[in-house]
Amino acid sequence: MKRLMTRRPSTPGTVIKAHYMEPLGLTVTELAKGLGVSRKTLSKILNGRGAVTTDMALRLARAFNTTPQLWLNLQQTLDLWLAENTPGDWQNVAQLPMPTVCPFPSETP
């Protein structure tokens, strides 16, 4: 059974600010220049109004010696939490019956 996360996950922007910008003493302008993006683009992410794209994930990974997956996972976790905790039509979808046999062919030769 899936365990529901009740606390809103941290945004990628919160992680960038707390774990990288503050310890390194970086301003938004300095980091934006280092990442090769506009100050406005970075500011949107830092303030939770913009999402980390694959391009931005690659830039952040290179700048902070992390992986792009870290940044994409942070964004995806937040996106899913927001979707699950916002009423929507997806909640009206009924579970379909599952086949009794595996629909995938065996991988044995």
pLDDT score recorded for residue 98: 87
Is 105 part of a structural domain of the chain?
A: no
Rounded to 10 deg, the angle between the 54-64 and 68-84 helix axes is 130
Q: What is the pLDDT along the chain (109 residues), one digit of tens a residue?
A: 466 778 999 999 999 999 999 999 999 999 999 999 999 999 999 999 999 999 999 999 999 999 999 999 999 999 999 999 999 999 999 999 988 877 677 665 5
Is 4 part of a structural domain of the chain?
A: no
Is 19 part of a structural domain of the chain?
A: yes
Residue in 8, 82, 13, 19 with CA at minimum distance from that of residue 47: 13
pLDDT score recorded for residue 68: 98
Residue identified by tokens 């683009």 is 41
**Residue 21 belongs to domain with CATH number:** 1.10.260.40
Which helix (H) or strand (E) segment holds residue 40: the answer is helix 39-46
Domain of 70 in residue numbering reads as: 12-81
